[in-house]
Amino acid sequence: MPAVSTNDLKNGMSLNLPEGLFSVVEFQHVKPGKGGAFVRTKLKNVRTGAVLERTYRADEKLDQALIDKREMQFLYLDGGSYVFMDTTDYEQLQASRASLGSSAQYLKEGDSVVLQMFDGEIVGVDMPAAVELKVTDTEPGVQGDRVSGARKPATLETGLVVQVPLFVSTGDTVKVDTRTGEYLTRAGS
């Protein structure tokens, strides 16, 4: 592992600490009037999402984790495993739903994503900001029931349930924000 100085930290940089794999959320160099300089950091555990605050001496060496980002295409669901194909060398990879986290609920066959790999393990998934999914089940809107902002639940083709406006019906395609899981707009059918 390459060592990196605390003076060279950047937001988003990954570190392999004894407690696990962490990403730098923010850092601040502090030079007090007395004593040596230090670096105050806020680190996020890549696997659990827990945030940790740590203080290091200036120029202290930490292990930098090199994250391999690979563009993959989701092929199909095989039992409980998601099967991906690397778009450069056509190598296939199986991933569990747990390793994909919340990203799994937005994936449909043929979608391309960037998988973040560390030591052969998936540690993150870069999704597009929004995805288009087909509505497989929702109650029909009742004529005259047009309360402003009224919503109803809709089940999408991946099994995700989102709140949609009353005019959305089964068979429509909707755009969903992958960061919040909220309905954005109805897409062209």
Q: How far is CA 56 from the centre of its chain?
A: 28
Lowest mean pLDDT segment, chosen from 1-5, 23-27, 145-149, 155-159? 145-149
Summarised one tens digit per residue, pLDDT across range 97-112 is 888 888 888 888 888 9
Read off the pLDDT of residues 108-131 as tens digits, 9 standing for 90 and up: 888 899 988 888 888 888 888 888
CB 65 within 8 A of CB 123: no
Q: What pLDDT is attached to residue 6?
A: 85
CB neighbourhood size of 19 (10 A): 12
- Asked if residue 25 lies in contact with residue 46, where contact means CB atoms within 8 angstroms, the answer is no
Domains and CATH numbers, the chain: 3-63 (2.30.30.30), 68-126 (2.40.50.140), 130-187 (2.40.50.140)
What is the chain's mean pLDDT, rounded?
86
Report whether pLDDT(89) > 60: yes
Read off the pLDDT band of 55 (50, 70, 90).
very high
Per the listing, tokens 């003076």 go with 7
Distance in angstroms (rounded) separating the CA atoms of residues 9 and 58: 11
Half-sphere exposure of 85 (CA within 13 A, CB side): 11
For residue 52, the tally of other CB atoms under 10 A from its CB is: 14
Predicted confidence at residue 175, as pLDDT, reads: 92
In this model, does residue 144 exceed pLDDT 80?
no
pLDDT in tens, 60-73: 899 988 888 889 99
What is the predicted pLDDT for the residue at 143?
A: 60
| 78 pLDDT more than 90 | no
pLDDT average, residue stretch 73-91? 88
Helix (H) or strand (E) holding 142: none
Neighbours of 40 (CB within 10 A): 14
